[in-house]
Structure 1
Amino acid sequence: MPASFRGRASKSNDSGRFEALTRAPFDDGWDDADERPDRLDTTLTPEAARRIISRNDSPDIGFDQSINPYRGCEHGCIYCYARPSHAYVGLSPGLDFETRLFFKPEAAKLLEKELSRPAYRPSFIQLGANTDPYQPIEAKLRITRQILEVLARFRHPVGVTTKNALVARDIDILGPMAADNLAMVAVSVTTLDRKLARAMEPRASTPERRIDAIRKLSAAGVPTAVGVAPIIPGLTDHELESILERAAEAGAAMAYYTALRLPREIKDLFREWLAAEQPDRAGRVMSLVRQMRGGKDYDPQWNLRMRGDGPIADLISTRFHLACKKLGLNSRNRRTMDLSLFQIPGRATNQLDLFG
């Protein structure tokens, strides 16, 4: 049977898909259940990255550059689309993803080096495209803050996506950047039900603290969006309007949503979680998921993978747009980040020094 560990969403830790050997739990009768640990500690390993900016050409993603200070995420969201990436380092997308984390200590220096290259051309950079840049270890390591400090010095536009209220710590950087049209933040709120959030995304900030972060960011002049992401049919979809209303009251100006995605190992991890945490809804939830994915657990087609297809997906889309219209969300033209302010610090001074 899947094990439950305090503060962890995954119920298993199966081998990654690239491993030659497969490991699976087996009860041989010798282990005393009372002696099993009820928690797993988090381990941190530095990662020697050569470059820090990742690039993509996906047609349904609104940015082509991103930075991920961390690999793995202690938030432990059971539905996280980044889980399969842990298999690339020989680890499990299950419990390993939540407990065996990697950080990039030289991220800020690497970024400064890349931005200073003569061939670099400024383009919007997204923080939090894969794992959360404000997950709990950021409070101590402060790598995301160091990255923002570099971007502020270079006057480079940035967007942040997070589930952690810790983002409000960096208002002193984000506020002045936003005043120059160089920063925006999206705060993801999956549910307002604290009990459900604790089971589904155990180490992310509580829903109320995320709403409060939206309030603080908005009050500081930072353009802030609420992401109802992901919407889980049969489990959280009934909260769509309530989440948008709470976010609008807190000052959010923009909103977006995504439908639950279950690629690769996530489908099995999510099914395990449903069976353990929501057994009375498990069958219904997966039936609705398949109805939105052409009868499958997941359909990776561009432009459909984020929304789904069919009557249920259409209904969610209609509800979302009607609620946004009623609340005034997305009513203003989204500001385009200002690329013209980009400047390599000290470049002009250094050139003049040659003639001094």
Structure 2
Amino acid sequence: MEQVKGRGAQSGDVSTRFDLPSREADGDWRDEREAIDGPVPKLRTEVTIEKPRSILSFNQSPDIGFDRSVNAYRGCEHGCIYCFARPSHAYLDLSPGLDFESKLFAKPNAAKLLAQTLAKPGYQPRPIAMGTNTDPYQPIESRYRITRQMLEVCLDARHPVTITTKSDRVLADLDILGEMARKNLIAVAISVTSLDPKLSRLVEPRAPSPIKRIAALETLTQAGVPTHCSIAPVIPAITDDAMEGIVARAAELGVTSAGWIPLRLPHEVAPLFREWLETHFPDRKDKVMSIVRSIRNGKDNDPDFFTRLKPTGVWADLFRARFRVACRRAGIGDGKAKFALDCSRFRAPMVDGQMRLL
């Protein structure tokens, strides 16, 4: 198939997982637009303003280390082909493929909603995770600054936060992050999947280069911000050979915590990933999917609690052993550090001009 340049997904078919209606041909010019008007124009990123009524999401998953999260945006222009958040666009009757990375939603009232939530009587603070569904520092953050506004709310409220990102744009908020770090309120994880910029452009076409992410790790570490290097995800026979190099480079920069996460292919991500393999790596597509199935009990994906983040089998054991050896050689923490953020300083934020009692 013809490659869609500059994007991760290679198609934009609308999901039918929720029995959402598909538009049938209506016989007008739109159905024959390419034949009449010529080639379809280059795909452009569109941003729609969303005004949700709540912003903080809670979960009881036994597999992840946080119970609450916040997302400033829906969709992600980074276009990472493996992104497990892609299926969330199907709820909007949009494609988890090209729509996910080109039809984005921004939530400008997120900071106000967050402040209102934190100010509710009886609210009990625990670290808020940012970047759990889509990247809080994707390109449109430079325009909307919603992530920064929410960090300002959390700093004022002395509320702890963890950030996960693939972008060096996080450094734009280094002033806030540094102040939060001095109060033990912040930890940042930067994901590095490869040290090869050409490969990175195929896997994560609009994310910053590996060099920029590595530099961001160094800058954050030097600024005293607790920093974690996440090798996520590890794609068998595509990016797994970079594991040792990433660990070694992170250790050289003073990063004291690293971890890895295996590739996950939930729902529509599996066929999109297969399509991507056919486009970019047709010579090894069968090998990649064979290894993926071997670590997922013979399936493309394991969605079950307790096992979805714990691959099994010979290949999984090999990846774990390689990672442990790499960490031991580099002198870096084996597995994600338990950053003990401080919840004791929390104070309800001021809302609608209401002054604090204390």
TM bin, normalised by shorter chain, reads over 0.9
1:14 is aligned to: 13
CA distance in 1, matches of 2:33, 2:179: 61
Q: For residues 177 and 20 of structure 1, do their structure 2 counterparts lie closer, same or farther at Cα, with a shift above 3 Å needed?
A: closer
Q: For residues 116 and 161 of structure 1, do their structure 2 counterparts lie closer, same or farther at Cα, with a shift above 3 Å needed?
A: same
Deviations 1:205-264 (CA, angstroms, capped at 9, x unpaired): 000000000011001000101110000111111111011111121222111111000110
Deviations 1:299-353 (CA, angstroms, capped at 9, x unpaired): 122232223111110111111122112222227963311110111246996437x
2:357 is aligned to: 351
Equivalent of residue 279 in structure 2, options 276, 279, 291: 276
The answer to whether structure 1 residue 175 and structure 2 residue 181 are counterparts is: no
Q: For residues 326 and 97 of structure 1, do their structure 2 counterparts lie closer, same or farther at Cα, with a shift above 3 Å needed?
A: same
CA distance in 2, matches of 1:159, 1:149: 14
Q: For residues 34 and 292 of structure 1, do their structure 2 counterparts lie closer, same or farther at Cα, with a shift above 3 Å needed?
A: farther
Q: For residues 172 and 52 of structure 1, do their structure 2 counterparts lie closer, same or farther at Cα, with a shift above 3 Å needed?
A: same
Q: For residues 38 and 8 of structure 1, do their structure 2 counterparts lie closer, same or farther at Cα, with a shift above 3 Å needed?
A: farther
The answer to whether structure 1 residue 166 and structure 2 residue 169 are counterparts is: yes
CA distance in 2, matches of 1:116, 1:326: 47
Contact 1:154/1:344 (8 A) holds in 2: yes
Contact 2:118/2:349 (8 A) holds in 1: no
Q: How does 1:119-198 map to 2 (within 5 A)?
A: 119-198=122-201
CA distance in 2, matches of 1:320, 1:170: 31
2:265 is aligned to: 262
Letter in 2 for 1:215: E
1:341 is aligned to: 345
Partner SS state of residue 226, structure 1: strand
Greater RCO (Cα-Cα under 8 Å, separation 6 or more)? 2
CA distance in 1, matches of 2:231, 2:55: 28
Q: For residues 195 and 33 of structure 1, do their structure 2 counterparts lie closer, same or farther at Cα, with a shift above 3 Å needed?
A: farther
Contact 2:115/2:349 (8 A) holds in 1: no
**Cα RMSD (Å):** 2.4
Letter in 1 for 2:46: T
Partner SS state of residue 357, structure 2: helix
Q: TM-score by structure 1 length?
A: 0.92
Q: How does 1:1-356 map to 2 (within 5 A)?
A: 1=1, 3-16=2-15, 17-22=17-22, 31=34, 35-37=38-40, 39-330=42-333, 334-345=338-349, 350-351=356-357
CA distance in 1, matches of 2:78, 2:7: 8
Give the gaps of 5 or more residues in structure 2.
26-30
C-alpha displacement at 1:7, in angstroms?
A: 1.4
Contact 1:15/1:23 (8 A) holds in 2: no
Partner SS state of residue 121, structure 2: coil
C-alpha displacement at 1:31, in angstroms?
A: 4.8
Give the number of aligned pairs. 349
CA distance in 2, matches of 1:164, 1:185: 11
Contact 1:108/1:146 (8 A) holds in 2: yes
Give the gaps of 5 or more residues in structure 1.
none
Q: TM-score by structure 2 length?
A: 0.92
Identical amino acids, percent of aligned pairs:
52
Letter in 1 for 2:135: D
Q: For residues 112 and 290 of structure 1, do their structure 2 counterparts lie closer, same or farther at Cα, with a shift above 3 Å needed?
A: same
CA distance in 1, matches of 2:202, 2:169: 20
Partner SS state of residue 174, structure 2: helix
C-alpha displacement at 1:22, in angstroms?
A: 4.4
Partner SS state of residue 351, structure 1: coil
Letter in 1 for 2:47: L
Deviates more, 1:13-22 or 1:336-345: 13-22
